[in-house]
Amino acid sequence: MLRSGMSETRGYGQFCPIALATEILAERWTPLVIRELLMGSFRFNDLQRGVPRMSSSLLAQRLRDLQFAGIVERRRGERGVWEYHLTPAGRELFPVVEKMGAWAQRWLRHKMLETPNLDPDLLMWDIRRTVLDDARPGGRRYVAAFHLSGVPSNRQRYWLVFEPGHVDLCYKDPGFEVDLFITTSLRVLTQVWLGHVSVDAVMREDALRLDGARRDVAAFRKWFALSLFAPAGRLPAGRMEPASEDALARRAG
């Protein structure tokens, strides 16, 4: 990608639109940073939770590159904290990223479940921000506890705490009474999240268990959205297209 102070040796020297898009998008990590921004993260540390293996110096560099390319704006938010937001040009990268995901869902399905690619922190972080927090029972607090097998012992437990207006992800017992226990393996939860298997199917095989009061169990299917890039995503009844810009807007709003 062309940086502010770089020589001319880095561009591809082609008028072709694909070449110009490639100058920006075909840099290591860049599409993933854009994915995080599209998913609604805008603080440096939140962005980094979505790309945990990227060094902070490189993330800072990429955010500068994206500003220079007119894709990201850096501005001060509440209490003077820096925030990174997509520009209109940046938001219109959604279809590009979407097609990349759709292609991989079709042709690289097996690689998604390879052990080095499974990551409970990342999965839970992804679930937390995609959870439909207006779809839980009543107006009260609602706590869901995940117990994962197939992971290191310090990564087995996660709590989602639904409060009116927001959802918190905890790595330690927050001490609240738990309304729903979700017991499964990291692999199965990832498969469900990606839309490769249905909740019903894995429950029938006892690969996923839900324990709690009847209505708290029933609520799970309401608030547990699939990945935005799952083959059919979670779309209004009757629609079966994959993730679209509309779907994004619906969730972001």
Partner DNA sequence: CGGAATCCGGATGGATACTG
Partner DNA sequence: CAGTATCCATCCGGATTCCG
Residues found near DNA in the complex (CB under 7 A): 3, 6-7, 9-10, 27-29, 43-46, 53-58, 60-61, 63, 74, 81-84
> 97 or 219: whose CB is closer to a second copy?
97
Residue 94: HSE in the Cβ half-sphere, 13 Å Cα cutoff: 19
Residue 103 is a binding residue for a second copy (CB under 8 A): yes
CB of 57 to DNA, least distance (A): 3
Who's near 159: CB < 8 A, 6+ residues apart?
Answer: 143, 144, 145, 146, 169, 170, 173, 174, 176, 178
CB of 13 to DNA, least distance (A): 9
Considering only the stretches 15-23, 131-139, 142-150, 199-207, report the one whose residues sit in contact with a second copy under the rule CB under 8 A: 15-23
Q: Which of 104, 213, 218, 249 is in the footprint of a second copy by CB under 8 A?
A: 104
CB atoms under 10 Å from CB of 29, counted, come to 15
> 3 or 109: whose CB is closer to DNA?
3
CB of 234 to a second copy, least distance (A): 16
CB of 164 to a second copy, least distance (A): 30
Considering only the stretches 25-33, 59-67, 133-141, 167-175, report the one whose residues sit in contact with a second copy under the rule CB under 8 A: 25-33
CA atoms of 225 and 146, how far apart (whole Å): 15
The residue whose two tokens read 């500003």 is 67
Residue type, 11: G
Who's near 207: CB < 8 A, 6+ residues apart?
Answer: 184, 185, 188
Is there a contact between 148 and 122 (Cβ–Cβ < 8 Å)? no
Residue 247 is a binding residue for a second copy (CB under 8 A): no
> 75 or 214: whose CB is closer to DNA?
75
Positions touching a second copy (CB under 8 A) are: 8, 11-22, 25-32, 35, 51-53, 70, 89, 92-93, 95-108, 111-113, 116-119, 122-123, 126, 190, 194, 227, 229
